[in-house]
Amino acid sequence: MDILKSRRRFLMQLAAAGTLLPLSSSGFAKYLLQETKEQPQLKVVFFVVPDGLAVDSYSGSAHNSDGLWFPKAARSADTDTGDFTLNLVSQELADYRSQSLYLQGLILGPGNIGHDGWKFVLRDTSGSKSSIDRVLGDAMPGTQPSHRSLFAGPHAGIDNTPWYVSWDDNKIRTPQQDPVRLNESVFGGTARAVRDLQVRNAHVFDPIRADIAELRGRLAGAQREKLVTHLDSLEQVVKDIEGAVPSDCGPLTLDQHPISSAQFRNQVQQSHHKVVAAALACGVTRVATVQIGRSAESLNILDVSASTNPHDCAHRYAGEREWRESRQWYVRQVKLFMDELAKYDDPHVPGDKLLKHTLVVLTSEMADGAPEHMVDMPLVLMGGASGLLNVGNGNGRYFNIKSQGDRSHWAKGSLVDMQRIWSTIALAAGTTVPYPGDVSPVTGIFSNVS
Identify the residue with better confidence: 17 or 186: 186
- pLDDT at residue 364 above 60? yes
- pLDDT at residue 173 above 60? yes
Are both 289 and 323 inside the same structural domain? yes
- pLDDT at residue 258 above 80? yes
User: Do residues 43 and 358 lie in contact, with contact meaning Cβ atoms separated by under 8 Å?
Assistant: yes
- pLDDT at residue 92 above 60? yes
Are both 262 and 128 inside the same structural domain? yes
Spell out the SS3 assignment of the chain: CHHHHHHHHHHHHHHHHHHHCCCCCCCCCHHHHHHHCCCCCCEEEEEEECCECCCCCCCCCCCCCCCCCCCEECCCCCCEECCEECCCCHHHHHHHHHHEEEEECEECCCCCCHHHHHHCCCCCCCCCCCCHHHHHHHHCCCCCHHHCCEEECCCCCCCCCCCCCCEECCEECCCECCHHHHHHHHHCCCCHHHHHHHHHHHHHHHHHHHHHHHHHCCCCHHHHHHHHHHHHHHHHHHHHHHHCCCCCCCCCCCCCCCCCCHHHHHHHHHHHHHHHHHHHHCCCCCEEEEECCCCCCCCCCCCCCCCCCHHHHHCCCCCHHHHHHHHHHHHHHHHHHHHHHHCCECCCCCCCEHHHHEEEEEEECCCECCCCECECCCEEEECCHHHCECCCCCCCEEEECHHHCCEEECCCEEEEEHHHHHHHHHHHCCCCCCCCCCCCCCCCCECCCC
Are both 146 and 197 inside the same structural domain? no
Average pLDDT over residues 345-373: 96
Are both 44 and 159 inside the same structural domain? yes
Instruction: Answer whether residue 182 is part of any domain.
Output: yes
> Model confidence at 275, in pLDDT bands (50, 70, 90)?
very high
> Model confidence at 158, in pLDDT bands (50, 70, 90)?
very high
Are both 27 and 70 inside the same structural domain? no
Are both 177 and 217 inside the same structural domain? no
User: Do residues 93 and 61 lie in contact, with contact meaning Cβ atoms separated by under 8 Å?
Assistant: no
Identify the residue with better confidence: 206 or 282: 282
94 CB-side CA count, 13 A: 9
- pLDDT at residue 178 above 50? yes
Q: List pLDDT tens digits, range 378-405.
A: 999 999 999 999 999 999 999 999 999 9
Average pLDDT over residues 439-443: 98
Average pLDDT over residues 89-110: 98
Are both 183 and 45 inside the same structural domain? yes
Identify the residue with better confidence: 306 or 221: 306
Q: In whole angstroms, how large is the CA radius of gyration of the chain?
A: 23
Average pLDDT over residues 67-91: 97
Which of 52-61, 108-117, 245-254 shows the lowest per-residue confidence on average (mean pLDDT)?
Answer: 245-254
Q: Of 46, 60, 43, 51, give the one whose Cα is nearest residue 89.
A: 51
User: Do residues 314 and 370 lie in contact, with contact meaning Cβ atoms separated by under 8 Å?
Assistant: yes
What average pLDDT is seen over the chain?
A: 87
Contacts of 390 (CB under 8 A, 6+ apart): 101, 397, 444, 445, 446, 447
Are both 375 and 350 inside the same structural domain? yes
Split into its structural domains, the chain has a count of 2
Share of the chain above pLDDT 90, in %: 75
Which of 137-146, 195-204, 349-358, 433-442 shows the lowest per-residue confidence on average (mean pLDDT)?
Answer: 195-204
Are both 179 and 195 inside the same structural domain? no
Are both 167 and 73 inside the same structural domain? yes
Instruction: Answer whether residue 222 is part of any domain.
Output: yes
pLDDT at 9: 45
pLDDT at 25: 34
Instruction: Answer whether residue 317 is part of any domain.
Output: yes
CATH value at residue 393: 3.40.720
C-alpha 354/C-alpha 337 separation (Å) is 12
Instruction: Answer whether residue 435 is part of any domain.
Output: no
User: Do residues 41 and 357 lie in contact, with contact meaning Cβ atoms separated by under 8 Å?
Assistant: yes
Instruction: Answer whether residue 174 is part of any domain.
Output: yes
Average pLDDT over residues 152-163: 97
Are both 234 and 91 inside the same structural domain? no
User: Do residues 310 and 154 lie in contact, with contact meaning Cβ atoms separated by under 8 Å?
Assistant: no
Q: List pLDDT tens digits, range 228-253.
A: 665 665 555 555 555 555 556 878 99
Instruction: Answer whether residue 424 is part of any domain.
Output: yes
Give the distance from CA 160 to its chain's centroid.
Answer: 20
Average pLDDT over residues 18-46: 56
Q: What is the pTM of this model?
A: 0.83
- pLDDT at residue 222 above 50? yes
User: Do residues 252 and 179 lie in contact, with contact meaning Cβ atoms separated by under 8 Å?
Assistant: no
pLDDT at 65: 82
Amino acid present at 414: S
Amino acid present at 418: M
User: Do residues 374 and 111 lie in contact, with contact meaning Cβ atoms separated by under 8 Å?
Assistant: yes
- pLDDT at residue 336 above 80? yes
Contacts of 236 (CB under 8 A, 6+ apart): none
Are both 234 and 312 inside the same structural domain? no
Which residue range forms the structural domain that includes residue 7? 1-34+191-245
Instruction: Answer whether residue 250 is part of any domain.
Output: no
pLDDT at 208: 66
Instruction: Answer whether residue 437 is part of any domain.
Output: no
pLDDT at 201: 55
pLDDT at 12: 45
State the sign of the Cα–Cα–Cα–Cα dihedral 284, 149, 122, 315.
negative
Share of the chain above pLDDT 70, in %: 80
- pLDDT at residue 191 above 50? no
